[in-house]
Structure 1
Amino acid sequence: MWSTILPELMSITVFILTTLCLRAGNSPSYMQDYAILSLNTTGLKDTFHHNTTAGLPIHDVYNLYMITTCSGYYANNSVPPLVGVTCSPVSWYSKFLPSTLLQSDLTSHSATTNLSSLRFPPTIQDAFNERFNLQLHVAFIFYVIALIWVGCVVLWGLCTFWIGALGGFAVLFTSSASTCLLISSAIITAVQSQSTALINDQGASIGLQAGYNSKFLALTWSAFAVNAASSVVWSCAGIVSAAWRGNEF
């Protein structure tokens, strides 16, 4: 019985980490530092001001999360944190459309400037429309499936407090969860790398820059690592419990 406490706590930890991956950035004050991707337009605004002496009414940063997109302004010379952050409504299929976001800001401020005059590369929007948004949606689905499997492990773990030998069967659930978390984490890693490379390559000439910190990657890969380790611990817990109960008879 007692041998199942550690793997149960590990599975609960995985459930929390996976939930955080999905919920990061769901409001202006919640885990804003855990963006999958950040589109920085300060260079674009500086270039526009240098050429026209006018301001460009768009946000400084547009952040992409699993279920929302948030935007904000730098309060101190391009140094975080962001202020005046607003987020899109939470959606199970959140789409990141850079051109649409920028044009929406321009339109809301009745600006005469448009994306064509800014020479915004259409290939960036096309890449998100055709590839990146769909890939992130697939990652979202696998996160949800992983949550279901981990939830089953947690519930199963409660049963093992009374029948400890059942702990070994939890590996069936944790293995499935690990596969889902591995796929999601790999997709996120690939999208981060490819999308930032594309934006920085195509948008450098007009001052666009994309980047990300390691926080979201640390979160998602930690969930996978802890879950994978819990598989081993659950297996050992089942063996120990079975041996202990065998000695009772």
Structure 2
Amino acid sequence: MRPIAVIPLVFSIVAFVLSILCLFAGTKPGYMEEYHIITVNTSGLGQNLFKQSAAPSATTPACTKPTSLGSLISGAKDCVEGAASNAVDEIQNIANEVAGDIVDKLSQKIGIKQFYSLHLMNRCEGNYKPNATDPSASKNVTKCSNQTAMYHFDITTPLNAELAKGPLNLTLEKLHFPDDIQDGLDGLSVGLNAIFVFYAIGIASSGIVILLCPLYFFFGLPMLTLLNSCLASLSFTALIISSAIVTVVQKKAAGFINKYGGKVGIEAYPGGKYLALTWSSVAFMGVASIVCAIDYTALKRRKRRELSEKGEHGRC
């Protein structure tokens, strides 16, 4: 028996489950939506008049107790300025709240959803709650597209379709939506397809490792150990390639969407949780492949030593 086979078995199971989650995350509304590859925030589309800039707050002058006529005049001036500054801050806070409400109402008025998230096999869409400008806003997914292998992320088609249904009968062209955004996404389609292929290879290989580990545990044959080691290494290699491509795709997609979309109120952000999930699967499968390789090497050396000892006894 080879008790060490338990280690690659456990780690392969974990890697297998994590890889499956990477493949099927976000395939239906509310299912692992936070594990998106990238999300495009479209809540600002069409409301450039309501851009908000963060300005440094001025120090409010303090009211001091007067000690002379001059200090009395100066103190009165500081108190008036302080009151005016506080009033301006209060008005700004109210304006920010109103602007957040305007963003929500405007996106509803023109008929678009406030975000579109890319998952490996589909796209989800919905609105932010309580509103799009709230720093702690959460996603309310209203719809997800059908699962499709090698899914291609198209942002312009759903936006145009929803704008056409809206009461204002707008188009992306009228909103000056940059073609560079969809062109960039089209250019990344090869990478998105490769991600799916390598995930499939990694999942299939780790699945076979899981099936072979019981035989590996009870019999420990060199050829069986070698096969397990090769499959574990194949799974590890496939998962590390898919994870690397995901990392690059996230960075590039967010980069050009923010570069060209900022002018029309669109921004994108990559999914950090998805990266953590996919690289975790790489780590677990890496441990499994290393253990398999070490055990195969040890088993091979033991067989050679046994053959050598038999040869020496034979000569005697």
Is 1:146 aligned to 2:147, yes or no?
no
Q: Does 1:175 find its partner at 2:233? A: yes
Q: Which residue of 1 aligns with 2:121?
A: 67
1:159 to 206, 215, 227: 215
Unaligned runs of at least 5 residues, structure 2: 52-101, 307-316
Q: Which sits farther off after the overlay, 97-106 or 61-70?
A: 97-106
Per the TM alignment, residue 110 of structure 1 is displaced from its structure 2 partner at its CA by 5.2
1:101 deviates by 1.8
Distance verdict in 2 for CA 1:48–1:23, change over 3 Å = farther
Aligned counterpart, 2:151: 94
Q: Match for residue 204 of structure 1?
A: 262
**2:244 aligns with one of 186, 192, 199:** 186
Equivalences, count: 244
Aligned twin of 1:225: 283
Match status 1:3 vs 2:4 = yes
Distance 1:201 1:164, change over 3 A: same
Give the CA deviation at 1:109: 3.1
The whole-number CA distance in structure 2 between the counterparts of 1:205 and 1:170 is: 53
Pick the structure with greater CA Rg: 2
TM-score normalized by structure 2? 0.71
Q: Which residue of 2 aligns with 1:19?
A: 20
Contact 1:63–1:69 (8 Å) recurs in 2: yes
Structure 1 residues 110 and 49, CA gap change in structure 2 (3 angstroms): farther
The one-letter code sitting in structure 2 at the alignment partner of 1:39 is V
RMSD, aligned α-carbons:
2.4
Identity, % of aligned positions = 31
1:73-92 mapped onto 2 (5 Å cutoff):
73-78=127-132, 79-92=136-149
User: TM-score, normalized by length of structure 1?
Assistant: 0.89
Q: 1:117 aligns with which of 148, 151, 174?
A: 174
Once residues 38 and 120 of structure 1 are traced to their aligned partners in structure 2, the CA distance between those partners, rounded to angstroms, is 17
Q: 1:85 offset after TM fit, Å?
A: 2.1
Q: In the aligned structure 2, how far is the partner of 1:140 from the partner of 1:240?
A: 35
Structure 1 window deviating more from structure 2 (197-206 vs 145-154): it is: 145-154
**2: CA distance between counterparts of 1:12 and 1:70?**
29
Give the whole-Å Cα distance in 2 for the aligned partners of 1:39 and 1:215.
Answer: 16
Of the structure 1 ranges 36-45 and 158-167, higher mean CA displacement relative to structure 2 is found in: 158-167
Which amino acid letter does the alignment assign opposite residue 281 of structure 2?
A: A
Query: 2: distance between equivalents of 1:80 and 1:19?
Result: 28
| Cα distance in 1 for residues equivalent to 2:144 and 2:156 | 17
Which deviates more from structure 2 when the two are superposed, residues 75-84 or residues 137-146? 75-84
Change (3 A) 1:223 1:86: same
TM-superposed CA distance for 1:147, in Å, is 1.1
Q: Report the residue type matching 1:19 in the other structure.
A: I
Residue identity in the other structure for 2:260: Q
Q: Tell me the secondary structure at the aligned position of residue 118 of structure 1.
A: coil
Equivalent residue, structure 1, for 2:41: 40
- Residue pair 2:26, 2:36 contacting (<8 A) in 1 also: yes
Matched residue type, 2:250: Q
Q: Post-superposition shift, 1:56? A: 2.3
- 1:207 deviates by 0.6
Unaligned runs of 5+ in 1: none
Shift of 1:236: 3.5
1:53-112 superposed Cα distances (whole Å, 9 cap, x missing partner): 953211111000000100010121224422242100010021211111211211233541
| Contact persistence 2:251–2:270 (CA under 8 A) | no
Could you tell me how far 1:164 is from its partner in structure 2? 2.8
Structure 2 equivalent of residue 128 of structure 1: 185
